[in-house]
Amino acid sequence: MPDPAAPPTPPVPLAALLARQDLGLRQVAGPAAEGAGGSGEAGGAGGAGGASVHWVHTSEMADPYPYLLGGELLLTAGVQLSDADRYVSRIVAAGGAALGFGLAPVYDTVPPALAEACDRHGLPLVEVPTRTPFTAVARAVWGLMAEARHRELRRMSEAQQGLAAAAARPEPVPAVLRQLARRLGGWTVLLAPDGTALGTAGREPAPEVRAGVTALARVVRPTTAQATTQDSRPPAARPAPASATDTAGSAQLAAYAVAGGEGLVLGVATTRREPGDHTVAGVAVVLLSLLTAERPGADEAARSAALVRLLLGAAPEEVAPLLGEGPWTVVHGRGAGAAPALGSPLVDAAADTVRALLPAGREVTRRPGWSLGVSAPATLRDLAAADAQAGRALRRAETTGTPLVRHGGTGLAALLDPAEATAHAQALLAPLGTDGPLPETLRTWLALHGSWDRTAAALGVHRNTVRQRIGRCRTLLGTDLDDMDVRSELWFALRQG
């Protein structure tokens, strides 16, 4: 039988139900609580062996298995009880939590065979006295569930208030980690993309628990994976879950991706996992996402003023003071998911290629799941050339599978006029077209030194497809692709185009 779906309300410990004096329930068989004796009468409220009840079901069927979802307190008067061992084994197979046996109207006492079967199969057996109707037991369970739900909602509300107050303190990130560790009764850590702990709170766990949290963090952090479709595509980010859970011995582990933190992960280790823990941790994740998100460095009004002046005909150098000190760096990027925060508010993310303008002194680092091309530093007057450099660097990054490529600015290409080089490249490659797969296939094939297998793997296509495309390139260009001079000129053109 499949695992039962957990109901939206927290379960009720069977011991709490046995403690209700108005019901008069008594556990007579099955797992005893710690400190109690073996089988037989487990005794009043002290029994149940830690069993929890998710719901109540009444049935007089000879085989209740098809009607159980798991986690039930099954109530019966034994109308069709014939084979006690098979009856109990079927309840256990269905995932039943406990069996409640009514003393009326069929039996005056609990059948010994039934008690023995419950002991044998480890199922708590509860005696329901004549004065207690089954509906009273069900009503008591729903009442206890409502109380537990109310306590859990109050706990989550208080935790949310505490986390919000922590986020308003002078050092908000450590304060949020401390508050979360206190609310969950465990250990919390904020992990950098490389696994370094940026902050911790709570009692330091065992080394294997800490290692387990670090390993679990990799599950919720996207990794770059090569596309395997039949067309040419850049490396893409493998989808990753927003959270994941695991165990390390008796410790309960959880990891949550921090949305605004560029690969940051919140790790949690506790001794037990309560129903509302995920919600409380989710509040902390939202706060940490806001607290660790990169803030825009330029004033919005100043940027708007610079844009208006440019539109009205002002020279770039005239608006430079409004944007900040130059020189500038242009960054192009393509990838999966939301555009990465590059530390600048001057970002164009409307097209499939994200373009950003950054102060040249600001470091550009790799972003998980993204390919980036970075230009050489340039003045505002030379931003058009820098934009072309960033575009070429991005194409090289995608071709070689490198997460980040910077414009070299040296070699033969630096001796040529960029406009003339681009015009020559476009004329030379015109027969291949601009939108089809041929230029990308040729670029990848040349970058991989004419290897059919490596090119096919990089593009995610069959090697015969690569051979056909290269043959088509050879025909359209009317040249010998085995000639090193021809290859060099085409490689130069592909880099400039």
Partner residues linked to 151 by β-bridges: none
218: pLDDT strictly greater than 80? yes
Residue 2: predicted pLDDT: 39
Sign of CA dihedral 163, 169, 171, 172: positive
pTM of the model: 0.44
* Contacts of 198 by beta carbon, 8 Å cutoff, 6+ apart: 173, 190, 191, 192, 264
296: pLDDT strictly greater than 60? no
User: What average pLDDT is seen over the chain?
Assistant: 79
Residue 38: predicted pLDDT: 37
Residue 54: predicted pLDDT: 87
Q: What is the DSSP string of 31-96?
A: PPPTTS-SSS---TTT-STT-EESEEEE---S--GGG--SSEEEEE--TT---HHHHHHHHHHTT-
72/10: higher pLDDT? 72
Helices (H) and strands (E) in the chain, counts: 15, 19
Q: Do domains 12-143 and 169-292 have the same CATH topology?
A: no
Q: Confidence band (pLDDT; 50, 70, 90) for 421? A: low
Residue-range domain boundaries for the chain: 12-143, 169-292, 323-409, 412-497
Q: What is the pLDDT of residues 34-57, one digit of tens each?
A: 433 333 344 433 344 578 888 899
Tell me the CATH number of domain 169-292, given options 3.40.50.300, 3.40.605.10, 2.60.40.4070, 3.30.450.30.
3.30.450.30
Q: Which of 97, 109, 127, 118 is nearest to 18 (CA)?
A: 127
Q: Confidence band (pLDDT; 50, 70, 90) for 297? A: very low
Q: Confidence band (pLDDT; 50, 70, 90) for 350? A: low
Q: Confidence band (pLDDT; 50, 70, 90) for 415? A: very low
Residue 115: predicted pLDDT: 93
Partner residues linked to 370 by β-bridges: 335
| Helix axes of 463-477 and 452-459: crossing angle, nearest 10 degrees | 100
Single-letter residue type at 213: V
362: pLDDT strictly greater than 50? yes
What tokens appear for 394 in the block? 């991005």
Assigned CATH topology for domain 12-143:
3.40.1390
230: pLDDT strictly greater than 80? no
Q: What is the pLDDT of residues 100-117, one digit of tens each?
A: 999 888 898 999 999 999
Per CATH, domain 412-497 is 1.20.1250.20: no
Residue 417: predicted pLDDT: 54
